Structure 1
Amino acid sequence: MLEAYLRDWRPRPVVEHDAMAPEQARALANVLETSAPVDELPPLWHWVHFLSWPPHSELGPDGHPLDGDFLPPVPDRRRMFAGGRLSIAEPLRLGTPAERTTELGEVKVKQGRSGEMAFVTERREFHQDGKLRITEEVDYVYRSGESEAKSPNRLRPTEFPSSDAAWQRRFTGEPTRLFRFSALTANTHRIHYDEPYCREVEAYPGLVVHGPLLVLLMTELARERGRITGVSYRLRRPVFSGDPVLVCGGEDGAMSVRSDQVHAEASVAFSEHR
């Protein structure tokens, strides 16, 4: 069914520009409770740049835009952030205009336990001063129409898990932090700020912590130990507001966010000169 909608879908590449003003990075630093960058943008912090704010009338009932260059023509579309990869030739620099080119990557339709899913990859290149600085691929999963409850009827974690990982940091996603991160990334999806919607429409037990925020928690913990040149990450299951989780990793660059199960994982590559 989904293949019929996607067969002739071939959006053209899109080129966008951003002044790379430092205010967004400073605000993100406050949300992450870390030092604001002065010159070089840390890995994945470009997610608070190149933002899109469509008119309010162009948003769907879930808060997502109804149309977009790389939103597949699937009826009653529901989107999930699934994973991605990033390669850094040189960091982006604040205060220097940058260019992003986005094109459609791989598109696959798979059969899951709750029905068909369309896996769509966006490929992005970031240039600054005429140089290719970052290459990125981001994977999204799309469903059509209603699906089963997103979260099985299981007990939610009440305590932080134990781990023998060399690097550890505790995290609990409070609603205020989720709201601020939504604003910084122009993410209007209601699962991150509208709890009645989460429970009554999406069948989630509470507000959902952003997948990109979980990824940033992993890369930030790794960044304290060395210069990152690449990262591959995958989101496995949602984290809900108030759930205590542990961000952990080690010298091999294997990172994760976990409670009694793994919610997100990443593999980080470091420069030889840390």
Structure 2
Amino acid sequence: MRSMPQQEASQGEFALARYLDAWAPAPVTLDDPVAAAPVAALSQVLDQEAPVAIEGEPLPPLWHWLHFLEWPAQRALGADGHPAHGHFLPPLPDRRRMFAGGRAEFTAPLRVGVPARRTSSLAKVEIKRGRTGEMAFVTVRHEITQEGRTRVTEEQDLVYRVGEDERRSGGFGLDLGEAEPSGSDWRLTLRPSPTLLFRYSALTANAHRIHYDEPYVRDVEGYPGLVVHGPLLVQLMLELARREAPEREVRTLSYRLRKPVFAGEQVCALGDVADDGRSAGLRIATRRDERHATAEVTFR
């Protein structure tokens, strides 16, 4: 993955620039034992008969999202359950956060039970103007090492809006019917329930109320139901590849989250393999939309 410039916001053109002009958080490092217990727990949440990895075995791609977690004090949370302040949270007033996408390169698998270190840094800040106003795009880069070797390099793209947006206008629907997406080589079907979302929130230290507080999500955020975690949708796409092609080791990943999915909707993770077998296109479909999230993976 190529390095990105530290700051790409064009100062003076955007109102948000005045909040971000001097914002330059330093890199931070976290250590984690990569314990087996969270891996076993998520395996149960996804109805696997046995843990996908035990002590000493390779951790599947993106399952490191169960590790390097931060638990701020309860008083440090905002009204939405998300931290009010944070090292890589931009100093914007009344901000709304969306996990937009990312990329990852897996040079070698992480191993369960082997201590690891993650170094995180601000890779890029960019301000854009969209249909609903200005948005700040923040990219955070993570490098994870184990036994002195860099094994995972990852970038996450987060979008921040200020004030209200189209959710208040009822722009999203809810359809609990059976999804019937067009044919694909691979398919994995799941209907996320409120309890599944609650358990995933607990495993990933995610206290955002859109995932478990239905009155809040309807009355304050303007969504028609509990929102399925963006990272869970991405993990489902990678889980599809793991189950359908266990002999293939993922080398790179790029993904984009496009439209929210809500609890109770039937989610289909779909995959199409390239003719040479060296890559695959993945997506999340529901009855409402064929492409809620998309991803591309390459194999070794």
| TM-score, structure 2 as length reference | 0.88
Pairwise CA distance, 1:153: 5.3
User: Is 2:117 the partner of 1:99?
Assistant: yes
Question: Paired residue for 1:174?
Answer: 193
Q: Matches of 1:240 and 1:54 in 2, distance apart?
A: 27
Identify which range, 49-58 or 107-116, moves more after superposition. Answer: 107-116
User: Is 2:93 the partner of 1:71?
Assistant: no
Name the aligned partner's letter for residue 243 of structure 1.
E
Question: Paired residue for 2:165?
Answer: 147
User: Is 2:234 the partner of 1:220?
Assistant: no
The residue matched to 1:9 in structure 2 has which SS?
coil
Question: Paired residue for 2:7?
Answer: none
Pairwise CA distance, 1:4: 1.0
Pairwise CA distance, 1:32: 1.8
Contact 1:79-1:141 within 8 A present in 2 as well = yes
User: Is 2:213 the partner of 1:184?
Assistant: no
Contact 1:160-1:170 within 8 A present in 2 as well = no
Q: Matches of 2:152 and 2:174 in 1, distance apart?
A: 41
Q: CA RMSD in A?
A: 1.2
User: Is 2:20 the partner of 1:6?
Assistant: yes
Question: Paired residue for 2:285?
Answer: 258
* Deviation digits for residues 129-169 of structure 1 (CA, Å, limit 9, x no counterpart): 00011000000000112223265154635221232101111
**What pairs up with 1:33-44 in 2 under 5 angstroms?**
33-34=47-48, 35-36=50-51, 37-38=53-54, 39-44=57-62
Name the aligned partner's letter for residue 139 of structure 2.
T
Question: Paired residue for 1:111?
Answer: 129
Match among 159, 162, 171 for residue 181 of structure 2: 162
Match among 119, 124, 134 for residue 142 of structure 2: 124
Question: Paired residue for 2:35?
Answer: 21
* Deviation digits for residues 70-90 of structure 1 (CA, Å, limit 9, x no counterpart): 000000111111100010011
* Deviation digits for residues 216-250 of structure 1 (CA, Å, limit 9, x no counterpart): 00001111212211211100000000111211002
The residue matched to 1:15 in structure 2 has which SS?
strand
Distance 1:58 1:155, change over 3 A: closer
Question: Paired residue for 1:249?
Answer: 271
Contact 1:161-1:245 within 8 A present in 2 as well = no
* Deviation digits for residues 79-105 of structure 1 (CA, Å, limit 9, x no counterpart): 111100010011111111100000001
Q: Matches of 1:84 and 1:153 in 2, distance apart?
A: 24
Q: Matches of 1:109 and 1:173 in 2, distance apart?
A: 34
Contact 2:181-2:285 within 8 A present in 1 as well = no
User: Is 2:147 the partner of 1:133?
Assistant: no
The residue matched to 2:90 in structure 1 has which SS?
coil
Question: Paired residue for 2:256?
Answer: 234
Question: Paired residue for 1:211?
Answer: 230
Q: Matches of 2:94 and 2:172 in 1, distance apart?
A: 25
The residue matched to 1:111 in structure 2 has which SS?
strand
Contact 2:172-2:224 within 8 A present in 1 as well = no
The residue matched to 2:215 in structure 1 has which SS?
helix
Aligned residues: 271
The residue matched to 1:85 in structure 2 has which SS?
strand
Q: Matches of 2:153 and 2:268 in 1, distance apart?
A: 29
Q: Matches of 2:174 and 2:230 in 1, distance apart?
A: 21
| Sequence identity (%) | 53
* Deviation digits for residues 183-237 of structure 1 (CA, Å, limit 9, x no counterpart): 0000000000000000000000000000000000000111121221121110000
Question: Paired residue for 2:10?
Answer: none
Distance 1:214 1:153, change over 3 A: closer
